[in-house]
């Protein structure tokens, strides 16, 4: 099945594997969907079919999930289960990237621990497993991990520098069930890339290899580019977009710069002027899908001119991270971590996750009085690293005056 369906509290969630997109359906739309399961076609069901989210052979399954949704209870401001798990397989890496926020070591997630996590994730209803590192292609059990993820019916992606992604390795991972690859690039040229990252040609060669496989008609995984927005590469973004189109990437994922051990944050993070420029550039792009990191929640609210229950930071609400030592974390960028008896226990009973989910009730200025507060709240990893107080507001936001005056 191309689309997975899961019952939420008085709602249904759909996950489309080919695009890694989710749809959250509740209220009147859910009632229209239930009518469709009872044989009453309507405009909403027709629209979902056009989007490739709905198929006629799903009626029985969706009907059962809709009944289950009436009984489900989710943690406050969260889904009933993570939409995705971000798993750090290893701390090993051959590169020396200036912006890296992680320690390089030989530590890696034990195979048995990973197998148990994947089993729990499938039982819990997780849609997608995102493997990272370090460099995930160095993890000795990556093939087994991808095969097990596919066996359990979950989508599987990796984020990589491209190091070691040969044609043979790509074909192997594809055959095992890999759905998507994100290649990390810092810029369209080696000079700009090197400001933030190492290994420019690994990334370029990997993208060219993926394009060639696509040209030859092979059913390769979908692929895209991860790009961290910084003061030293922001003006190169249009050129990066052109590069992405040239290699026929499906998307560019724009990430917010997080504090790193080797750089001075205030010099690297985008100024308010450049953030406004980025917003304009994103609006003007066509011909390629642009995804924006949830750490850029204020940018997302500004671009969409709206907020939703799950449009802000997804840490502990939409996704959960697990590091190479087996610790659960709201996201990979925060130092807060814990171990529990099970994934479900952590999701429902973690005090750390509860703090993330309810941060808006105690958040400080200027976020406290912003009309987009419930759909934003910004990035706690940045706030804690720069200010030390979990509940401080985000003074980097350039859209705050807009939020004050537009409801």
pLDDT given at position 85? 97
- Please give the full DSSP string across 267-333, using - where no structure is assigned: HHSPPHHHHHHHHHHHHH--SSEEEE-GGGHHHHHHHHT---TTSS--BTTTEEEE-TTS-EESSTT
pLDDT given at position 309? 61
Phi-psi region of 20 (alpha: psi -120 to 50; beta: other; left: phi over 0): left
pLDDT given at position 401? 55
pLDDT given at position 344? 96
Phi and psi of 79, rounded to 5°? -85, 170
pLDDT given at position 313? 84
pLDDT given at position 22? 87
pLDDT given at position 407? 44
Q: Which domains does the chain have, with CATH numbers?
A: 3-69 (no CATH), 84-357 (3.20.20.70), 359-405 (no CATH)
Q: Tens place of pLDDT for every residue, the chain, 407 residues?
A: 578 899 999 999 999 877 778 889 999 999 999 999 999 999 999 999 888 888 888 899 999 999 999 999 999 889 999 999 999 999 999 999 999 988 889 999 999 999 999 999 999 999 999 999 999 999 999 999 999 999 999 999 999 999 999 999 999 999 999 999 999 999 999 999 999 999 999 999 999 999 999 999 888 899 999 999 999 999 999 999 999 999 999 999 999 999 998 899 999 999 999 999 999 999 999 999 999 998 998 998 888 887 666 667 889 999 999 999 999 999 999 988 998 889 999 999 999 999 999 988 899 998 988 888 888 878 999 999 888 899 999 989 998 755 554 54
How buried is 94 (Cβ within 10 angstroms: 0-12 exposed, 13-18 middle, 19+ buried)? middle
pLDDT in tens, 154-170: 999 999 999 999 999 99
Q: Which long-range contacts (CB under 8 A, 24 or more apart) does 150-154 make?
A: 150/176, 150/177, 150/178, 151/177, 152/118, 152/119, 152/121, 152/122, 153/4, 153/122, 154/118, 154/121, 154/122, 154/126, 154/127, 154/128, 154/129
d(CA 328, CA 335) in angstroms, rounded, equals 10
- Please give the full DSSP string across 326-350, using - where no structure is assigned: S-EESSTT----B--S-HHHHHHH-
pTM of the entire structure?
Answer: 0.93
């Amino acid at each position: 099945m191309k689309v997975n369906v899961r019952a939420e509290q008085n709602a249904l969630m759909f996950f489309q594997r080919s695009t890694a997109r989710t749809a959250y359906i509740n209220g009147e739309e859910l009632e229209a969907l239930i009518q469709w399961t009872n044989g009453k076609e309507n405009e909403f069901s027709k629209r979902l079919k056009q989007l490739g989210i709905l198929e006629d052979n799903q009626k029985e399954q969706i009907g059962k999930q809709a009944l289950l949704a009436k009984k489900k209870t989710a943690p406050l401001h969260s889904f009933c289960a993570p939409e995705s798990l971000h798993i750090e397989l290893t701390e090993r890496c051959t590169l020396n990237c200036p912006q890296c926020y992680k320690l390089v070591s030989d530590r890696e997630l034990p195979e048995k621990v990973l197998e148990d996590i994947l089993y729990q994730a499938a039982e819990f209803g997780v849609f997608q497993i995102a493997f990272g590192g370090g460099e995930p292609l160095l993890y000795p059990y990556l093939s087994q991990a991808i095969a097990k993820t596919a066996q359990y019916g979950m989508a599987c992606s990796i984020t990589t520098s491209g190091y070691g992604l040969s044609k043979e390795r790509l074909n192997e991972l594809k055959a095992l069930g890999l759905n998507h690859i994100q290649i990390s690039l810092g810029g369209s040229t080696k000079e700009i890339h090197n400001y933030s990252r190492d290994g420019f040609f690994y990334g370029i060669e990997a993208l060219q290899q993926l394009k060639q496989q696509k040209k030859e008609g092979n059913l390769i995984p979908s692929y895209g580019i991860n790009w961290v927005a910084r003061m030293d590469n922001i003006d190169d973004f249009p050129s990066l977009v052109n590069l992405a189109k040239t290699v026929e990437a499906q998307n560019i994922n724009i990430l917010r710069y997080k504090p790193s051990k080797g750089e001075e944050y205030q010099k690297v993070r985008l100024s308010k002027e450049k953030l406004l420029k980025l917003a304009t550039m994103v609006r003007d792009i066509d011909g390629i899908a642009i995804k924006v990191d949830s750490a850029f929640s204020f940018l997302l609210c500004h671009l969409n001119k709206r907020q939703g229950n799950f449009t802000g930071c997804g840490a502990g609400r939409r996704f959960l991270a697990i590091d190479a030592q087996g610790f659960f974390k709201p996201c990979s960028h925060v130092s807060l971590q814990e171990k529990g008896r099970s994934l479900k226990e952590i999701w429902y009973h973690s005090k750390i996750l509860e703090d993330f989910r309810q941060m808006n009730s105690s958040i400080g200025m200027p976020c406290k009085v912003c009309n987009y507060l419930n759909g934003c709240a910004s990035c706690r990893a940045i706030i804690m690293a720069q200010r030390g107080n979990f509940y401080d507001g985000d003074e980097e936001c350039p859209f705050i005056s807009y939020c004050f005056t537009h409801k």
